[in-house]
Amino acid sequence: MLNIKNEVLLRVYIVAAVVMGVAVLIFLQLFRLSVAEAPKWEAKADSLYVKWVDAPSQRGNILADDGSLLATSLPFFDIHFDAKAEGLNDDIFNAEAVDSLAWLLSTYIDQQYTPGAYRDWLVGLRQAPPNTRGIRYVPIAKDLPYAKALLVKNFPIFREGRYKGGFIMEQKNRRERPFKILAQRTIGYTREGALPVGLEGSMNGVLEGKEGKQLMIRVPGDVYIPVGDLAEIEPEAGDDVVTTLDINIQDVAERSLLNACETHNADHGCAIVMEVKTGKIRAMANIGRTPDGWWETYNYAVGERVEPGSMFKLASFMAMLESGKIDDLEQPIPVFGGKVKIYDEELQDAEPHGRDTMTIREVFAKSSNVGTATLVQQFFKANPGAFVEQIRDFGLDLPTNIELGGEEAPIVKNPADPKSEWSGTSLPWMSIGYELLLTPLQMLTFYNAVANDGRMMKPYIVQRTERYGEIVKEFRPTVVKRSIASKSTINKARELLKEVVKSGTAEGIRSANFDMAGKTGTAQLNYHKFKASKGIRHQAGFCGYFPADAPVYSCIVVISEPERGGYHGAEVAAPVFRAIAEKCFAMKPELHRPVNAEKPIALKAGQLPSYDAGLKDDLKSSLRWLNLDYQPDADLHDWTVIVAKDSLGLSLQNRVVGDKAIPSVIGMGLKDAMYLLENRGCKVRVEGVGKVRRQSLTPGTRANGQTCVLFLE
């Protein structure tokens, strides 16, 4: 009995061992196929008869504030011919159809080939062996616009479609910019193998949509062609991005900046226009010199950290005002003839003036380096950290976090940080805009806060995303800091900025139409504590806002390495600011002061309308609309004249108009004058514009078809 039991156990063990051995073999085979030989079998899978490939989605549009297209995707089509399509038989591919197709291809696709050459080529494709390489995916035309692709689709043979006519049409989208290079770097791009740039890059997740799937079939020659014209799984189009850019202001900024760069032969420059109350970026222009001419090669406005030079003096004076170190702007201070030594380094003013003292207002307006640095050194030398802390309170140590990639964070030295390399001259040099780095956009954000009564707004360039016209997400103005300084400090800062344009370094950009406020800035790019060296390079800047008393827009202009026509901010950058401001003033009604904002001033007799003639009812309506009182004659006829009297104001008097005589049309508009003369049979010839001041025929002359010349002024 025991022997039988042992024999059964032995057999069980043998079966178990066999099963385990088979399991181990299966596991090893799976490991070999899925891991060791995975690349081999994946390559095999790629060579199968059919496979799925990604179908690109329609990329969303980028639009300006008014809906103008800044970037859009346009469909273009590649046409191929499958000479061995399953349904393409001899009845379809007959001599008449081939002749017509050849003629159409020669006429509309490629005229360098004759219809005969095209016919021989098509017949040769049809007669080639089935396994000939490329015979089922023959290129016919590339990059056809939609209208022309539809035309080709209706050619003989092709009109039979994919399976019976061998017609293969593949769509691809091309990114186009209707305004060409306008805001080119700000709009940006996405390219395979390159870092994404601008809004195209930063908003790529919104714009790109979702890819679909297209079934492809392998044909002889190891070529895959689409099974159908449409994707099996439809791609999902991307959303549109609506920016804050104003097309007109952007155009003005780019043209003004380009003109300055060309005039001064600069290396590059940038200009930004921001809406004061909201932080909306209305224009962002970047121009750089390349071997092929001027181009937007880099977004200097956002990505280039520079020493701002004298534009930073606004922060220095506000730090002294806010901390109570200065209060009276008319207080005289020493400027040492425009030259002073701080430790072992000599500091001097940009322009020699020989003055021993200036008021605080003059120091800022004339941009005295000596006056600014000695004041800051006097008040903060014992505690430089207090000055730096004040600068941080103004938000000058913070990036703007605008919706564009590549922004560099500010660098502001800190005396408490050993890594800052703080020295005895750091404080005075920082006070005039050196030994710290800011981007133009970060500098503008600070000035914009001053223009906005101290409220710092986050600059933004994307205001909403849309899908088929419906808002998906909206971005609203964001307050970074409710007040960067006290009301008193802000008011005095704005007073100083107005003085720069009124009597200071930017006096040359004053406008008769409106007031501007701002600060010039000139920085040496390869300085060593201002010691003279060969090939000194400069950066010119101007930052400010307009109109000065009720700011609507703030603007910064920075131009690097001007080589001719001066290099100071007042000579190079400030005129660009003025050009932008004046063109904005001409285009934007909100910059104009309402005509009824103040109580009207009584007009003198010489300013009143005098000797204006016309129909009685028209003249009365005009006077009522102008709110001007008048004294009518007791019995007015249809035609009257306004007469100004020194003591009695305005009077309406009758104009005698006979039926057959030449009337007096002096003082009338052209419409009334021609009506009266032509109704009496006269011909009228006109010279000039305005009202009738003189007529060639004497009033009272009998009318008999003469020509009357009217002289208008």
How many whole angstroms separate alpha carbon 597 and alpha carbon 585?
18
Neighbours of 183 (CB within 10 A): 28
Average pLDDT over residues 128-155: 87
Tokens at 231, concatenated: 């994707």
pLDDT surpasses 90 at 87:
no
Report for 174-183, 286-295, 553-562: range of highest mean pLDDT: 553-562
Average pLDDT over residues 429-444: 95
Beta bridge partners of 473: 465
- Place 31 in a pLDDT band, splitting at 50, 70 and 90: confident
pLDDT surpasses 60 at 105:
yes
Q: Please report the pLDDT score of residue 35 as a whole number.
A: 73
- Place 527 in a pLDDT band, splitting at 50, 70 and 90: low
Average pLDDT over residues 630-654: 67
Q: Please report the pLDDT score of residue 71 as a whole number.
A: 92
pLDDT surpasses 70 at 268:
yes
Please indicate whether residue 180 or residue 632 has the higher confidence score (pLDDT): 180
How many whole angstroms separate alpha carbon 15 and alpha carbon 411?
77
Average pLDDT over residues 513-531: 81
Please indicate whether residue 85 or residue 358 has the higher confidence score (pLDDT): 358
Q: Please report the pLDDT score of residue 420 as a whole number.
A: 83
Tokens at 135, concatenated: 């015979």
Is-contact 188 138, C-beta < 8 A?
Answer: no
How many whole angstroms separate alpha carbon 659 and alpha carbon 680?
7
How many whole angstroms separate alpha carbon 208 and alpha carbon 369?
51
pLDDT surpasses 60 at 659:
yes
How many whole angstroms separate alpha carbon 707 and alpha carbon 280?
61
Q: What is the three-class DSSP state of 388?
A: helix
Domains, the chain, in order of start with CATH, read 52-240 (3.90.1310.10), 250-591 (3.40.710.10), 605-712 (no CATH)
How many whole angstroms separate alpha carbon 530 and alpha carbon 522?
12
Q: How high does pLDDT run on average in the chain? A: 86
pLDDT surpasses 60 at 693:
yes
Would you put residue 279 in left (φ > 0), alpha (ψ -120 to 50) or beta?
left
How many whole angstroms separate alpha carbon 364 and alpha carbon 359?
9
Indicate the DSSP class of residue 537: -
What is the pTM assigned to this prediction? 0.74
Report for 85-89, 217-221, 222-226, 441-445: range of highest mean pLDDT: 441-445
How many whole angstroms separate alpha carbon 134 and alpha carbon 145?
25
| Residue that is written with structure tokens 């920082």 in the block | 430
pLDDT surpasses 60 at 206:
yes
- Place 588 in a pLDDT band, splitting at 50, 70 and 90: confident
Q: Please report the pLDDT score of residue 532 as a whole number.
A: 44
pLDDT surpasses 80 at 598:
no
Residue 322 vs residues 64, 269, 448: alpha-carbon distances, Å: 40, 33, 18
Q: Please report the pLDDT score of residue 242 as a whole number.
A: 96
Average pLDDT over residues 276-290: 95
Per mean pLDDT, which range of 94-103, 230-239, 311-320, 650-659 is the poorest? Answer: 230-239
Q: Please report the pLDDT score of residue 383 as a whole number.
A: 94
Please indicate whether residue 11 or residue 694 has the higher confidence score (pLDDT): 694
Type of residue numbered 495: E
pLDDT surpasses 80 at 275:
yes
Report for 42-46, 95-99, 261-265, 536-540: range of highest mean pLDDT: 261-265
E strands present in 244-367: 268-275, 281-290, 293-295, 332-334, 339-342, 345-348, 357-359
Neighbours of 32 (CB within 10 A): 11
User: Which residues, 6 or more positions from 402, have their beta carbon under 8 angstroms from its beta carbon?
Assistant: 281, 302, 441, 458, 459, 460, 461
- Place 530 in a pLDDT band, splitting at 50, 70 and 90: very low
How many whole angstroms separate alpha carbon 340 and alpha carbon 346?
6
Q: Please report the pLDDT score of residue 647 as a whole number.
A: 46
How many whole angstroms separate alpha carbon 226 and alpha carbon 210?
19
* Model pLDDT for residues 393-414, shown as the tens digit of each residue: 999 999 999 999 889 999 999 9
- Place 211 in a pLDDT band, splitting at 50, 70 and 90: confident
DSSP class per residue in 100-111? HHHHHHHHHT-T
Per mean pLDDT, which range of 364-378, 433-447, 591-605 is the poorest? Answer: 591-605
Please indicate whether residue 240 or residue 55 has the higher confidence score (pLDDT): 240
How many whole angstroms separate alpha carbon 190 and alpha carbon 383?
49
How many whole angstroms separate alpha carbon 408 and alpha carbon 442?
10
Average pLDDT over residues 196-212: 87
Average pLDDT over residues 422-433: 92
DSSP class per residue in 487-518? HHHHHHHHHHHHHHHHHSTTGGG--SSS--EE
Indicate the DSSP class of residue 34: I
Q: Please report the pLDDT score of residue 449 as a whole number.
A: 98
* Model pLDDT for residues 326-350, shown as the tens digit of each residue: 999 999 999 988 888 888 788 888 8
How many whole angstroms separate alpha carbon 312 and alpha carbon 288?
24
Q: Please report the pLDDT score of residue 394 as a whole number.
A: 96
**What is the percent of the chain with per-residue pLDDT over 90, rounded to a whole number?**
49
Is-contact 58 224, C-beta < 8 A?
Answer: no
* Model pLDDT for residues 677-691, shown as the tens digit of each residue: 888 888 889 888 888
Is-contact 580 281, C-beta < 8 A?
Answer: no
Nearest-CA neighbor of 77 among 161, 136, 153? Answer: 153
- Place 631 in a pLDDT band, splitting at 50, 70 and 90: confident
